[in-house]
Amino acid sequence: MEMKEKLAILADAAKYDASCASGGKGKRGAAPSDAGAGMGICHSYAPDGRCISLLKILFTNFCVFDCAYCVNRVSSNVKRARFTVDEVVRLTLGFHARNYIEGLFLSSGIIRDADYTMERIVAVARSLREEHGFRGYIHLKTIPEASEELIAEAGRLADRLSINVELPTAAALRHLAPEKDESVIRRSMGRMRLRIDAAREERRPASFAPAGQSTQMIVGADAATDATILRTSAKLYGSYGLRRVYYSAFSPIPDASRTLPSRPAPLMREHRLYQADWLFRFYGFGTEEIFAGGGDGMLDLEIDPKLAWALRHRDRFPLDVDRAPREDLLRVPGLGARNVDRILAIRRHHGVRIADLARLRVPLKKVLPFLCTSDHTPGAAEIDSAKLRRQLAPAPAQLSLFYGHAAH
């Protein structure tokens, strides 16, 4: 099989893993004559916040497991391909030299057993770092059952490691992926955290996965509610010090098990989960209060979770922008953390006006019903929750669009 065909198969197979990136489009400027240019190139974020381009591929889409939700499961009738270690190295170096990518995300189906597969993944990183002096970003998907020695070497060579928990509950994992063991996954994540923490305590963070660890959960393959998913995420962040939990909306696959849904999960559901995740990580919300009063444990697909919370708590608004504490301003729909800090800086010098908010490019239509400024006080009509919801909810056509992973 030619390299270009392998790349097409294994880049496409990798798109189902959301645990490193948000996109899969080729980098702008790739010459059409370049064989494979743009295939498998996605965009992720470095620890310092930079958006970086990665070559995102599987080492192979062969797999001895038969997870019902996975297109690469052993019983799946898909075209198979497998790279050699040298081929992945050459692809990475070639794309990097042409400035198409800044790093590599490498995952794999399980060949033979966990150690055999992990050895190949580690061999790619070892060759890049030690034989070719590659200093780009490397994210390796690790296999929970792999030996401690291989995980240690992976952490020494890679910037970030990840282990996918796959599903939000142990019951769902037993049902849809009976060959996987939640306790083994959690134990491996715990050991990884200990190594990361130890490196930081020794003030040598670069000695083991300096960008930390992440994981992925599939949304909509089982009956778990959004509340269950976010409770699981909160526990993962707290127990394992994760840098990020990624959510991946379930999409039907060929020859799927009848136990799986016949329709894909809405991309908007995935997006709302990212927004809610952001709220409890950076905006001071508790996971339970995000859903308090929500009824069925599902996030509202029509409006973002911060707006939904604010509409349920109209008695806490409007806030006096010149006096409200930072933690209250962070709960105003449409205000992100950076703009809240800018508002605090402005009000040290003078009363905040609508013109100040406009200069910060905050969405005034969304913000002003919840704030009093030195030249604005919301009228009684603006405080009515039902009317405000109708005004601020996106048009129905917009709800079918994917808005991205960032959230205010």
Q: What is the mean pLDDT of each run of 10 residues along the chain (408 residues)?
A: 90 79 41 50 71 92 93 90 97 95 95 96 98 96 95 96 95 94 95 94 87 95 96 96 94 80 92 96 94 84 94 92 97 96 96 96 94 90 78 66 40
Start-end of H helices in 251-398: 267-282, 287-291, 305-312, 326-329, 337-347, 354-359, 364-367, 380-383, 385-392
| CA of residue 244 relative to chain centroid, distance | 6
Question: What is the C-alpha separation between 116 and 112, in angstroms, rounded?
Answer: 7
Radius of gyration, alpha carbons of the chain: 23
The pLDDT value recorded for residue 404 is 40
Cα 223 to Cα 70, 228, 247, 257, 258: the distances in Å are 17, 10, 15, 15, 14
Give 3-265's CATH code, choosing from 3.30.2310.20, 3.20.20.70, 3.30.380.10, 3.40.50.280.
3.20.20.70
Judged by DSSP in three states, 58 sits in strand
What is the residue type of 36? G
Predicted TM-score (pTM) of this structure: 0.88
**Domain residue limits, the chain:** 3-265, 305-400
Here the contacts of 88-93 (C-beta below 8 Å, separation 24 or greater) are: 88/57, 88/59, 88/124, 89/124, 89/127, 89/128, 89/131, 89/132, 91/3, 91/7, 91/36, 91/55, 91/57, 92/55, 92/124, 92/128, 92/134, 92/136, 93/128, 93/132, 93/134
DSSP conformation class of 110: P
